Amino acid sequence: MPLIYPRESNAAHAPRLSPAYKSTVKRSPAKPLVIIPHTLSELTGPVYGHETVRENDNDLTIQHNGEPLGERIIVHGHVRDEDGRGVPNTLLEVWQANACGRYIHVVDQHPAPLDPNFTGAGRAQTDSKGYYRFVTIKPGAYPWGNHHNAWRPAHIHFSVFGYSFISRIVTQMYFPGDPLFAYDPIFNSVTDEKARMRMVSSFDLENTQPDWALCYRFDIVLRGRNATPLDND
Amino acid sequence: MSNITPSQTVGPYFKYGLTPGRDYQWNDAFSNDLVTPDVSGERIRIIGQVFDGDGKVVTDSMLEIWQADGQGRFADPLDTRALPNAAFKGFGRCGTDANGVFSFHTVKPGSVPGPGAKPQAPHILLAVFARGMTQQAITRIYFEDESANVADPILTLVPGDRRTTLIARRDHGGVTAYRFDVHLQGDDETVFFDL
């Protein structure tokens, strides 16, 4: 069943120019985007085999000889389309800071320790119902140079594909109740409050594993809906 | 209002997760070399740089391409025509280096159907992600030596004076090479699409 991708759905995204997030000022297109029809080129997208995701790629706590430091957590949820149907066999890539808020990336020179047992990268594929699951360490908040005393709320970066090149999304998952939300221009670049709160995971006591790990649920909704819903009469 | 999850910037630190190369203890899921042993069609190289609104090179962006094979067929179940290049995936990813340079090694795509079954000139979709971009910007790479460009149903929707930003220029090099620079903003701003 081919899906359609109404442009109106893009209203959930942040404006490309969001001046409080200073790097957008010189990196956002200033000329009008050109509206074109969705052709086969836009409506198709990459398909990957099981070779893309190796066993245990979804567990960021067992990639090294020892266990990483920090709070072990489970992050799970469903990837769905705009009609609520699970998106099966789609690829998710995640990357994040360690428990101290330090990225392994060479450019991150924030004076917090690296963890030799934590890289912070993972991958998973959704199952036939669109369900995915990661095991990781809760990332820390970290300072950045956007403005005086700027701190990013703790987050995990997500890259998701979906059915087509235009359903593809890169986003960030946040943790509920973070006191830094009000001060973060990246989080607040999404101006619609309901849309913004869809980036915040929820604490999931039911799937928290006793004596082992807290659990957070993060459901992701990608563009794409059925062209002819409820067309039976 | 829609219910989709909003996009957020890829940020400055994606390299170790998305384009690690040999620099980090992680493996690449995708590369900038799309060529597979069984692929037919003309092998080409596309090279370019990414610039910001001040004309400075963007050293922390990620580019992804999506294209049909040499016969104009997509490796996607939605494209129900036969797939002679079974191993050709048509998807590539490359991070820009310290000079803002990216490159792809692939095959020139064939013509694919467009609106009203009108053929489209050979083209490659290109998505640009970067720190400072709240969502990816999507453009198309066309090729200067394709006569079909003049009748392409998408190119003709682009204002005439900006069409050249979508045309890759033949460049020197061993395999057929094309130059395609991306200007995120400014006088030479690349045409991006509202999709």
Residue A109 lies in a domain: yes
Residue A8 φ/ψ, nearest 5 degrees: -55, -30
Does pLDDT of A230 surpass 60? no
> Token digits for B80?
């129900």
| Better-predicted residue by pLDDT, A129 or B22 | A129
pLDDT of residue B21: 92
Say yes or no for a CB contact (<8 Å) between A10 and B14: no
| Better-predicted residue by pLDDT, A233 or B87 | B87
Catalytic choice (A155, A163, A216, A223): A155
pLDDT of residue A233: 43
Contacts of A46 in chain B (CB under 8 A): 66, 75-76, 89-91
Residue A12 lies in a domain: no
As a whole number of Å, the CA-based R_g of chain B is 17
Residue A30 lies in a domain: no
Instruction: Out of A26, A32, A38, name the one closest to residue B52 (CB).
Output: A26
Q: From CA A29, how far away is CA B192, in angstroms rounded? A: 8
Catalytic residue flag (residue A105): no
> Token digits for B102?
């990216």
Task: Please give the DSSP secondary-structure letter assigned to residue A9.
Answer: G
| Exposure b/e, B114-128, CB count within 10 A at least 16 = b | beeeeebbbbbbbbb
Interface test with A, best of B1, B9, B71 (most A CBs within 10 A): B9
Average pLDDT rounded to a whole number, residues A94-99 = 98
Average pLDDT rounded to a whole number, residues A52-67 = 95
Average pLDDT rounded to a whole number, residues A126-145 = 97
Report the CATH number that the domain containing residue A184 is assigned in CATH: 2.60.130.10
Q: From CA A76, how far away is CA A132, in angstroms rounded? A: 6
Q: Which distant-in-sequence residues (6+ apart) come within 8 Å of A84 by Cβ?
A: none
> Token digits for A213?
């790990």
Confidence of residue A72 (pLDDT cuts 50, 70, 90): very high
Domain boundaries of chain B, sorted by first residue: 15-183
Dihedral over alpha carbons A108, A110, A111, A113 (to 10 degrees)? -50
> Token digits for A20?
């409080």
Is any Cβ of chain B less than 8 angstroms from the Cβ of A223?
Answer: yes
Supply the range of the domain harboring residue A157.
54-226
Number of compact structural domains in chain A: 1
Residue A26 lies in a domain: no
Average pLDDT rounded to a whole number, residues A50-68 = 92
Catalytic residue flag (residue A142): yes
Does pLDDT of A232 surpass 60? no
Residue A17 lies in a domain: no
Residue A31 lies in a domain: no
Question: CA of A9: which chain B residue's CA is closest?
Answer: B2
Residue A132 lies in a domain: yes
User: What digits encode the pLDDT tens for the residues A15-37?
Assistant: 999 999 999 999 999 999 999 99
> Token digits for A143?
């300072």
Rounded to two decimals, the ipTM of the complex is 0.96
Contacts of A21 in chain B (CB under 8 A): 9, 132, 134
Q: What is the CATH number of domain B15-183?
A: 2.60.130.10
Contacts of B157 in chain A (CB under 8 A): 34-36
Nearest-CA neighbor of B86 among A27, A110, A47? Answer: A47
Contacts of B58 in chain A (CB under 8 A): 27
